[in-house]
Structure 1
Amino acid sequence: MADVLTLVEARLRSALGEPDARAAVTFLGTDRIEVLRFLDATSGIVRYATLGMSAAPMTDPAAALADPEKGPRAELLLSVRAQPGTDTDKVLRPLAVLAASPQVEGVVVAPGNSLDVGEPLWPGAPFTSVLAAEPGGLVEDLELDPPMDPVRFLPLLPMTPNEAAWKRVHGAEALQERWLRHGTDLRAPQRESVRLAD
């Protein structure tokens, strides 16, 4: 499975450039998860990408037997605007926790899912959860040899508690439409909740 991660890292580097930092987190009973940090000095955007979640396919917890090859594979991407006084690098551990959730909790992470870390994503962040968005924009899917599924790189969109509650009622698509309509800067590390009542 190390070969898969080698290919994943190569795809991340080709799309985002050279990482300027990386950290590894290991949870009891799980494989190591790394988080790579990419800084786009031109735009001031910091991107964090997990590496390790795709080593094994995600398995439906209701399945009687886990297939070692077939099943969805993914890595997580978070883009944040660099802002003085905001230590977004502390998001490394929460991201690793989310990336380990398929191994630890049998969660299958897919577009439209809410993922809650139960604490601010970084010190002082107004977000405790994220919305997994559709892949393919920033980093293209990585095709693997059959019968393995491709690795999908899922962008994570931070949600305030109010947004997360609203999404549970109205759905992911409705929340994304609202963000778009109000011109919400989803990369702003200290943004306020979008207006949820018309």
Structure 2
Amino acid sequence: MEEILVLTEARLRTALGEPDARAAVTFLGTDRYEVLRFRDTEGGSGVVRYATLGMSGRPMTDPSALVTDAESGPRAELVLSLRAGAADTDQVLRPLAVLAASPQVEGVIVAPGNSLDLGAPLWPGAPFSSVLVGEPGGLVADLELAAPLEPVRFLPLLPMTPNEAAWKRVRGARELEERWLTHGTDLRDPLRRSVTLD
């Protein structure tokens, strides 16, 4: 497990640069989870990225399976990208650790198209309490591990307003993503309003 986390952090550093802050959270009966903060100082985009570290140490397993394998199963870490300075987004560190712990605590398999709901704002005053899990492979490439281990995938998180989350439950992730695209929604805006929904 420790070796996988070392490789995972190295992949994050290769893709995002050096983290300028990190926080660790341990929940009762679980492993330690860290959240690393990366600021885009070279690109000048004003984007801050938060990435979990610890979720990939164990594979996610189906809670209904009668027999589980300690090695096989999908592995992932979560990445959230936001525009810096408009809100106190650094308060998202603990909520992200909660989401990263959900496979171990609740037996959830986190995969693209899933909704993850915190039941509280992602940070104080945030208009979002849930996220849509996006497709991996864009910002941070998958980390291949020695067989039979599955690769570590870096899953982007897309904040959803309560209206968007409700609409997604009825219409599905693909239609919500198409709606965002059609309206040119800036998903990195920590203060954005809900996209226009039919």
TM-score w.r.t. the length of structure 2 is 0.98
Helix, strand or coil for the counterpart of 2:92?
Answer: helix
Whole-angstrom CA distance in 2 between matches of 1:20 and 1:66: 37
Gaps of 5+ in 1: none
Partner of 1:149: 150
Partner of 1:19: 19
2:59 counterpart letter in structure 1: P
CA deviation digits over 1:33-82, x for unaligned, max 9?
00000001311000000000000000000111221100000000000001
Whole-angstrom CA distance in 2 between matches of 1:34 and 1:65: 29
Q: 1:47-86 to 2 correspondence within 5 Å?
A: 47-84=49-86, 86=87
2:154 counterpart letter in structure 1: F
Say what the alpha-carbon RMSD is for the aligned residues.
0.5
Q: 1:21-170 to 2 correspondence within 5 Å?
A: 21-41=21-41, 42-84=44-86, 86-170=87-171
CA deviation digits over 1:124-147, x for unaligned, max 9?
100000000000000000000000
Contact map agreement 1:141 1:153 (CA 8 A) in 2: yes
Partner of 1:4: 4
1:58 counterpart letter in structure 2: M
Whole-angstrom CA distance in 2 between matches of 1:64 and 1:37: 38
Whole-angstrom CA distance in 1 between matches of 2:6 and 2:85: 32
Q: How far off is 1:83 after superposition?
A: 2.3
Q: Does 1:176 align with 2:177?
A: yes
Whole-angstrom CA distance in 2 between matches of 1:70 and 1:174: 32
Whole-angstrom CA distance in 1 between matches of 2:112 and 2:184: 21
Where do 4+ consecutive residues of structure 1 move more than 3 Å?
A: none
Gaps of 5+ in 2: none
Contact map agreement 1:83 1:189 (CA 8 A) in 2: no
Whole-angstrom CA distance in 1 between matches of 2:174 and 2:70: 32
CA deviation digits over 1:95-134, x for unaligned, max 9?
0000000000000000000000110001110000000000
Helix, strand or coil for the counterpart of 1:30?
Answer: coil
